Amino acid sequence: MRNEQKAQYRLYEMFYKNMTVVCLRYSKDREEANDMVQEGFIKVFKNLKRYEFKGSFEGWMRRIFVNNAIDNIRRKKKDHILLGEDDKMDAFSDKEMDPFEVEGELDPKLVMDAIQKLTPAYKAVFSLYVIEEYSHKEIAEMLNISVGTSKSNLAKAKQNLRKYLHKAYNETYG
């Protein structure tokens, strides 16, 4: 029993940071992400016997954490969350957006901040499509939405990210 606890703690130490990053992509804030991390590790520990040593262990864990995040979104969903408009980002008018390409690389923190500002619906679809590389059909099935809603949410997420990043870039680099 004690060796099992030590092994679990070691596993937690090894993957905590990476799984926290995964959870941040689907949460509204760090507190919610921390809750998701704890739930994810509990599920990993309960399902360790099911790991079949096919593919990477971290990939197997990531899938559990992503599925846990999707379950979290479903629990909060009240029919409107995946169809709602983004109040936070609509304040930026299209007039503020010049059609330019940013030269050089953007600060990763700036990009993560932009993703955190998306609504839960946009953030979920963006993360599942762009980062986890699921298809719109798979996302629609996971989130219980239509393929069209998935595509629309992705387009709006990208549009809002461009607006936010453009504004943040101008504020930083003038």
Residue pLDDT tens, the chain, 174 long: 677 899 999 999 999 999 999 999 898 888 999 999 999 999 999 999 999 998 899 999 999 999 999 888 887 765 344 444 443 333 333 343 333 344 456 677 788 888 888 988 899 999 999 989 999 999 999 998 999 999 999 999 999 999 988 888 777 776
Residues 86, 73: Cα–Cα separation, whole Å: 16
pTM summary value: 0.70
Residues 121, 112: Cα–Cα separation, whole Å: 16
Phi, psi dihedral angles at 54 (to 5 degrees) = -110, 120
**Domain at 1-76, CATH from 3.30.413.10, 1.10.3720.10, 2.40.10.220, 1.10.1740.10:** 1.10.1740.10
Q: Which CATH code for domain 79-174?
A: 1.10.10.10
- Closest to 64 measured CA to CA, from 40, 33, 36: 40
